Structure 1
Amino acid sequence: MTTLQAAAWGLALAAAIALPTWAASVPLRDASLADRVWATFIAAPAALYVALLGSDPRLTVMLALLLAWALRLTVYVTRRNWGHGEDRRYQAIRARNQPNFGLKSLWLVFGLQAVLGWVVGWPVLAAATGEPWRVWDGLGAALALAGLLTEAVADAQLTRFKRDPANQGRVMDRGLWRYSRHPNYFGEACVWWGLGLMGMSGGGWSAAWCLVSPLLMTVLLLRVSGVALLEQDIGERRPAYRDYIARTSAFIPWPPRRSAL
């Protein structure tokens, strides 16, 4: 089987995951179900590529990292959103796309995320060449693992902070959050740049197209569904956050500035 054929099967699998999830979301009026299957849109096609094109040490490590990432994120998002109804981001999308948002969400939310997830998984497809393990693979795997641990620790710290009633209304600026306003997003970006490096190591410069994956994820995290979206009005809703913004790096962990006087 060729790489192009495997890619087509991967896209079909992502679509097959999106369709029933969309169908379940319509009666529930909860398009944020897409967040719970986001990791599956990426991991399922990647696992299919390995099954169709064969495995080697590089792909085994990549798939192990990817599946660990997908499992952690899916469990975290599902537990965080359970019982809270539709996320406010999706409520805003729903309001902007009336009438018949239920139908429109098939392509505006679920179809779009299926395609984006398929693209993000391209490094695994690029790496399926059978080339031997190289130093770049070790560096990429280390970066991806460090990113996975960073986002896991950051999410755990934030969850623990929110569970303490004494922190109601306060800004989380402890642990990793002291050095970055979004250490979980930074860790996420590291995961995909690490896997992208491994994809390039396996496929060479002719596989540079796989770097669309980390580039896309970085843009999404910084400009679309991540930092920019979360902080667009948070300073108005939570004045203490303005000082946090002034003294703390938005993305890359860095020692905080002394004060925002």
Structure 2
Amino acid sequence: MSEPKSRSVILIVAALVLSGLLAFAGSQQGWSVGPFAGFAIAVAAAFIVQWVAFVPAAMTQTDRYFDLTGSLTYIAVTVLLLALSPERDARSIILTVLVVVWAVRLGSFLFMRNLRSGGDDRFEEIKASKLRFFSVWSVQGLWVSLTAAAAWIAITSAHSAPLGWTTFIGIAVWVIGFGIEVTADLQKSRFKAEPANSGRFIRSGLWSVVRHPNYLGEILLWIGVLIVAAPVLQGWQWVALLSPVFVIVLLTRVSGIPLLEAKAERKWGDDPEYRAYRARTPALVPGLRGK
């Protein structure tokens, strides 16, 4: 077996093992449907959706619906959990709304961007190999499960708590993060739509404050979800803390900022204006000097 295929097998096994551990921990002190814990159902459903969508994607060798499938998974699984919940309390409804609104907005944005660009160049080599392509879809199942963990664990928790000040703080943090993400995406889309900006980098609006304001918004909104979920978390259910931690690590150390910074360096690394912009503008947190 070639090295890329060996790595793919390792990724698939790792995604399944980590998801299994997450499902076990997050299911403690949660409600069940027959012999199946609610949160475990959610994690399993997240993977099943990816694997079903993988079949036509692999047959046609297209990644066009990859991001859309991820977003639809958030929506479908979260709504399913709310429908299965023996008690649909206000907290569960709020969490469902927060996740669904985010997923609808981001999913439609990424899908339209994908249609305009013709696809994601990260998949060009991968989708030719069914095993490697399958590993990517499996990892997306883990990504969805980890990111949504705080909301899903709270919705499936057997413990309840009245809404309090933490709930409203969480909603406020989510609203701020969502607003930043939407505004940043809109500003960049308008910038790229201007013919005069072809080949140039954006440094206006929120992009003049930090180099990745959309990621800042993404991190804040998932922190907000955790704050809303926190009052009903018990014992092992605190594995939900992995939700915003995972988002932060993913965006700052794995597939977010590092990839975009490397791409920008290749494209504008010799541009004095870009060097100056990078030097004066922090990557993610306002007020911190950029490297």
TM-score tier (shorter): 0.7 to 0.9
1:36 to 39, 56, 68: 68
CA distance in 2, matches of 1:32, 1:102: 16
1:225, CA displacement in angstroms? 1.3
Change (3 A) 1:212 1:114: same
Give the corresponding residue for 1:209.
239
1:254, CA displacement in angstroms? 3.5
1:22, CA displacement in angstroms? 1.0
Write the mapping of 1:60-139 to structure 2, written as runs, cut at 5 A: 60-91=93-124, 93=126, 101-106=129-134, 108-128=135-155, 129-139=159-169
CA distance in 1, matches of 2:234, 2:65: 37
CA distance in 2, matches of 1:19, 1:146: 34
CA distance in 2, matches of 1:14, 1:36: 13
CA distance in 2, matches of 1:253, 1:75: 28
CA distance in 1, matches of 2:61, 2:73: 21
CA distance in 1, matches of 2:289, 2:203: 10
Is contact 1:47-1:63 (8 Å) kept?
A: yes
1:182, CA displacement in angstroms? 0.6
TM-score by length of 2: 0.79
TM-score by length of 1: 0.88
1:18 to 33, 50, 57: 50
Equivalent position amino acid for 2:173 in 1: L
1:32, CA displacement in angstroms? 5.4
CA distance in 1, matches of 2:195, 2:253: 32
CA distance in 2, matches of 1:60, 1:5: 19
Instruction: Note the aligned Cα RMSD (angstroms).
Output: 2.2
CA distance in 1, matches of 2:58, 2:118: 13
CA distance in 1, matches of 2:236, 2:101: 28
Unmatched 5+ residue regions in structure 2? 1-30
Runs of 4+ in 1 over 4 A off after TM superposition: none
Is contact 1:199-1:207 (8 Å) kept?
A: no
Aligned length: 252
Give the corresponding residue for 2:25.
none
1:20-45 Cα shifts (integer Å, max 9, x gaps) = 32122223322353222222333322
CA distance in 2, matches of 1:177, 1:164: 16
Moved more, 40-49 or 219-228: 40-49
Unmatched 5+ residue regions in structure 1? 95-99
Is contact 1:200-1:207 (8 Å) kept?
A: no
CA distance in 2, matches of 1:238, 1:36: 30
1:255, CA displacement in angstroms? 8.2
CA distance in 2, matches of 1:224, 1:150: 22
Equivalent position amino acid for 1:104 in 2: R
* Paired-residue identity, %: 29
1:181 to 199, 211, 214: 211
Write the mapping of 1:157-196 to structure 2, written as runs, cut at 5 A: 157-196=187-226
Change (3 A) 1:49 1:238: same
